[in-house]
Chain A
Amino acid sequence: MVVNEANCDGFIHDIAEQLGRMLPGLCLELKENPGKTELGESFDVWEIDTRELRQSLHNGNFPALPTQYQHHQILFDGQARASALSEKTPTGSKKVFKVAVSDVAQRIDQAIERLDLDVEDYSRVVLLKARACWVYAFWLLDRRQVFLVSVPSRFTKLSEHLQAEKYLHEMDFIVALYDEIERVMVRQNDSLDTERL
């Protein structure tokens, strides 16, 4: 059974109250008028620093680090349509600082369904983001596996491993990510030469 410790968090009512203030303006812009808005699952967010991938391949350590952030699923009329990010404050409370309406929420919802169906043995789970390359995955810490949730097509086109809804051993994930990032990413320092994607 997959265990998501963030779901037990005592701050969820406070998060819901903050979302109640942030969502109406966004919904107004998008002409969304949900009859019922709900706060769904929450996840601790861990981050992979893509600059550390090469080192990780040498030392065999999975290069994910915990962040101060939590991801929150938001349901409009029962459908996962939006998500939010909150940050732990020095006083221990949580402040929501970003809300987004995007398809990523639905993909995460589908991944939740899969994990609950597939995984019978004990494993803690957190949400993993590969920094700056828009890859989302669930990291099953005790299984040393990742389940890919959302992967930009620039990766899926090129890599047979980096495909959504696929389980990978955590280090196979790092190898695949490293290969594709080395292939795709362009870095330049001069601001006028900065290239944006």
Chain B
Amino acid sequence: MRFSIWRITLKVIFVVFMLLIMIGPLVGIVIWSFARVWYWPSPIPQEFTLRYWLEVFRQGRVLNSLMLSVTIALLTVVFSITLAIPAAYGFARYKLPFERVLLLLFLMPQTFPQLPVFINLASIFGRMGLRGNIWGIILAHTMASLVFSLWIITATFKSIPVELEHVAQNLGASRFKTFWTVTFPLAIPGIIAGAIYVFLWSMGEFTAAFFIGAPFIQTAPVLMYTSSMGYNLQIASVIAIILVIPSLIFMVLIERFLKAEYIAGLGG
């Protein structure tokens, strides 16, 4: 008996600890967005207010930058996935020379510190006239996010048994037809997983959006950064909370779609 009590205690401690790590910061942010005065050591703010929420919605620029972020993220998803699908198929099905090196090459933008990479990119884009407009950011995001979409989709294609394609060919389907009737439908869960990842990454990406978008374009993370730099922690918290919403909607929508597909994909 004593043994099992210990076990339960340990489990409870573990769960509480995990919850603290995962939602602790979120709770802090939510409280901050309603706080007028909050100083140590009080566990809750001394004075609450709705002022900052009202301010954010009255100004309109928060919603504007949110819309901007969503637009950029969606377009990035479209470009990144469209580029990744044929490349991933090549990596998965054909023996390419230097396959590993090539796959690692796509990892490059993520391996170096983001700051020098994107500052450099910003100066190149500046010469090409891609600075200060959303296409510059979309291009940068597409390039940097290719690693996620490419790796995830390559793994997905590799997990589809090649016999499933061979049967289709054997029954008279061309390679192209085989891809669209067999390989692509079976890869949809993986492609969607890649899309979610790219979307979320793009929504929260700051460095590229800041250096390439400046000074005209302010995405939500950039706005959040500038307001928290102005010691307006409450405004930054409100933006952070709002920033979560489109990601949540995107994930819920996609997850619904995903589940049915996964169940179909289980019997193989």
Genuine A/B complex: no
Query: Could you list which residues of chain A lie within 8 angstroms of chain B, going by C-beta atoms?
Result: none
